[in-house]
Amino acid sequence: MKVSEPLELNGVTLKNRFFKSAMSETMAKGRNQPGEKHIRLYHEWVRGGAGVVVTGNVMVDRNALGEPGNVVIEDEKDMDMLKRWAEKGTEDDTHLWMQINHPGKQSPKTMSKEPVSPSAIPMGDALRSAFNPPRALANDEVKSIVERYVHTAEIAKKAGFTGVQIHGAHGYLVNQFLSPHDNRRDDEYGGNLENRMRFLAEIYEGMRRVLGEAFPISLKLNSSDFNRDGLTEAESLIVVEKMSEMGLDLIEISGGNYEQPKMSTGTDSEVFFLDYAQKLKEKVDIPVVVTGGFRSKESMEAALKKGHTDMIGIARPMALDPLLPNRIMSGDYEKITTRRLTTGIKGLDEKVGPAVGNVYYAMQLKRIAEGKGTQQHTNAWRPLLHLIATHGPQALKPKRRKRK
């Protein structure tokens, strides 16, 4: 199986197996609307040749941001810019899918005085100084957030995006509803897995209703939360099975949350979450994208050949080299390395590691959008200073738990 082979998906053709995973651009200005930089960045990724390009997470509520500079789509005010984004992002038969998200309690202090969550469960000790404790959503608020997801998806389709992705991973609101740790509700949205899944299922059903049968709807899901009492692997498999029965078109597999950042550190293998994908493939017949850790053509083609994944999810390498898929397909490519950034001070690296990493990659996205070359280095100081400038000195406060 080659990375260049097309994939048929519910009546649409994806031109190859490259799936550029979501990376939050953090470039939105003013009312958190998209702008020229988004258009230039996505056009570069189109030039790069991936079959599917997923946007960074687009938020459904202006009052609930995950980071400064998130795009928010609540209404049609920015339709002209959205149409241009979609037009440039779908050139050359590229699929451009909008990732739709609400951060729930993972909205930092600098963004939310009182974030919301299924239940009033604060972040763990290690991150408590950076996030205000959440309040539990009322039942009617849950229903109105479902409508927000659906409405944002409807606007995406109207603008010309060719698919959507529900962000159900990485500890954000959908993931919080799924997690027995975060969700202690006693209404129809809490308790057993069927109830904890209801928020996700209603979002999916609402989207399907307004988007129609032929429009790709995908879900990014954690293989596991990697928390003692979070979503387990066994439950995650059941979620995929049920969503597949409901008609979901594709599942992207990741893992972890802010407290257990496995999405960027992985498990033991070079490519993260492949074991899970293998189990999933035995159980459920749905196109799967595994994301995390793909760096060499050999590992990509081996995973496709073994049938563990149908597409290759890649994020950070696409921030270092936006033309990567075409380079791989034309043979003009050496294995890309994503190195760990360091300040040279071990204690400081432990405190701010993943956050600094994300800022560094977001800085590369800005450089691509500005037509500048990307910078590959391991010096953490510039992204760290940028982090402090955006979030204040409390960015240095959270202590990360040592990884096991």
Residues that bind ligand FMN (CB under 6 A): 21-24, 56-57, 99, 167, 169-170, 220, 254, 263-264, 291-294, 314-317, 358, 361-362
CB of residue 187 to ligand FMN, shortest distance in Å: 28
Task: Return the number of the residue (48 or 292) whose C-beta is nearest ligand FMN.
Answer: 292
- Smaller CB separation from ligand FMN, 56 or 398: 56
Minimum distance from CB of 157 to ligand FMN (Å)? Answer: 20
Task: Name the residue nearer to ligand FMN (CB basis): 215 or 361.
Answer: 361
Using CB atoms within 10 A of its CB, is residue 37 exposed (0-12), middle (13-18) or buried (19+)?
middle
In the complex, the smallest distance separating the C-beta of residue 290 from ligand FMN, rounded to whole angstroms, is 10
Conformational region of residue 10, where left means phi above 0, alpha means psi within -120 to 50, and beta covers everything else: left
Cβ pair 130, 397 in contact under 8 A:
yes
The minimum distance between CB 13 and ligand FMN, in angstroms, equals 23
Query: What phi and psi values does residue 93 have, to the nearest 5 degrees?
Result: 60, 25
- Cα distance between residue 153 and residue 174, in whole Å: 15
Token pair recorded at residue 269: 């293998």
* Smaller CB separation from ligand FMN, 136 or 363: 363
**For 226-345, where are the alpha helices, taking DSSP H only?**
233-246, 262-265, 274-283, 297-305, 316-320, 324-330
Least Å distance, CB 39 to ligand FMN, is 18
Shortest distance (Å) from residue 362 CB to ligand FMN = 5
Q: How many residues are recorded in the chain?
A: 404
Cβ proximity to ligand FMN: between 315 and 368 the closer is: 315
d(CA 102, CA 116): 10
Nearer to ligand FMN, 223 or 291 (CB): 291
Please count the helices (runs of H) and the strands (runs of E) in the chain.
14, 13
